[in-house]
Amino acid sequence: MDVLDAIKSTRAVRQFTDAPIPDDVLDKILRAALRAQSSKNTQPWELIVVRDRDTLVALSKLGDFMSHVAGAATCVAFVAPNEHPWVYFDLGQSAAYLQLAAHDLGIGSCLGAIYRPDEARHLLGVPAHLSLMAVVSLGYPSPTFKPATLGGRKPLTEKVHRDRFPACG
Ligand SMILES: Cc1cc2nc3c(=O)[nH]c(=O)nc-3n(C[C@H](O)[C@H](O)[C@H](O)COP(=O)(O)O)c2cc1C
């Protein structure tokens, strides 16, 4: 898939089939995540691939909008040192690469924001000095999948400013 087509067509997928993701396909997706740029090439991320159903279900309860994780074929938890705001910028890029690669390979994905990080760290054995704030669920989109009606993006004219931020008030 052309990169621009992938960017234009990707949508959050929250309903999945039961089909597992083959290891070689998952590896391609994970390699894309590791290919992301990062500040000073620090590559601060550690990725935990969760496939155990009980763990996925338990994880799905640790964010208020993470029910999609329970039905995913797998989910990838993003772990990183909690030391600098750039780290979160880096993690966002890695997650975006992972999601675009998944989309290219016909696999749907959705971010999940963890609201109870202490419990999530305990569940996945992550030490306290590392943060675990987000997961990405992955799976083949259910035939009944419909993109959320909330989708759509604001236009260039509203979000892009030329040379200076517009005067307020
Ligand atoms: C930082 C971040 C956190 C998100 N957290 C959640 C979440 O907890 N649950 C969820 O269902 N979607 C979550 N999403 C997905 C967004 O809701 C989704 O990307 C957005 O609504 C656009 O949807 P669309 O791809 O269908 O246009 C998150 C996305 C981001 C970038």
d(CA 149, CA 144): 14
**For residue 106, what are its two tokens?**
């016909």
| pLDDT tens digits for range 108-165 | 999 999 999 999 999 999 999 999 999 999 999 999 998 888 878 999 999 999 999 9
| pLDDT tens digits for range 64-92 | 999 999 999 999 999 999 888 899 999 99
Ligand 1 site, residue 65, Cβ cutoff 6 A = yes
pTM of the model: 0.96
Name the closest-CA residue to atom 14, ligand 1: 111
Say which CATH topology domain 3-159 has.
NADH Oxidase (3.40.109)
Q: Under a CB-based contact definition with an 8 Å cutoff, are residues 105 and 28 in contact?
A: yes
Catalogue the E-assigned strands of the chain. 46-50, 74-81, 108-113, 130-139
| Domain limits, the chain | 3-159
Return the ∠ at Cα 51 (arms to 129 and 80), rounded to 5°: 20
Which of 11, 75, 111 to probe ligand 1 with, by most ligand atoms within 8 A of CB? 111
